[in-house]
Amino acid sequence: MEEAMEINCNELAQKFNACRPALCAIGDETRQLILRVLIENCGTGGLRVGEIQNSTNISRAAVSHHLKILKDAGIVNVRREGTKNFYYLDTASSTLFAVSELFHQAVEQMRQCPTYKEKNK
């Protein structure tokens, strides 16, 4: 049991390291606000920088900067129409699934810990 738990911990640590860029990207409050705006407007085909700016009262330059970080992390994607860029939450992104799987596995690992089992009898 202990050896299996150690293997799971090593696997979990590897998954955590793989997810670090996404976790860092969503750890910033400004980016969380931008993500919330994108989530609230999902199904619209995406939002332009100016629309995100109007919803958040963040400068255009700052919105663009944070969108680049979210895009580089694989959380947000962009759709281009001519000279217009529309940003949207990339629900098909393997990054979001990897982060979700990381937390799911962490919860399952936690449930196997004797201290968790003892507290939740």
Each residue's pLDDT tens digit, 1-15 = 455 555 578 888 999
Residue 20 falls within a domain, yes or no? Answer: yes
Each residue's pLDDT tens digit, 61-89 = 999 999 999 999 999 999 999 999 999 99
Domain count, the chain: 1
Residue 100 falls within a domain, yes or no? Answer: yes
Tokens in use for 87? 């940003």
Q: For residue 101, what are the domain limits? A: 2-115
Residue 77 falls within a domain, yes or no? Answer: yes
State the alpha helices, DSSP H only, in the chain.
2-26, 29-40, 49-56, 60-72, 94-112, 114-119
- Looking up residue 28, the CATH number of its domain turns out to be 1.10.10.10
Residue 120 falls within a domain, yes or no? Answer: no
Question: For residue 79, is it left (φ>0), alpha (ψ between -120 and 50) or beta?
Answer: beta
Residue 43 falls within a domain, yes or no? Answer: yes
Residue 37 falls within a domain, yes or no? Answer: yes
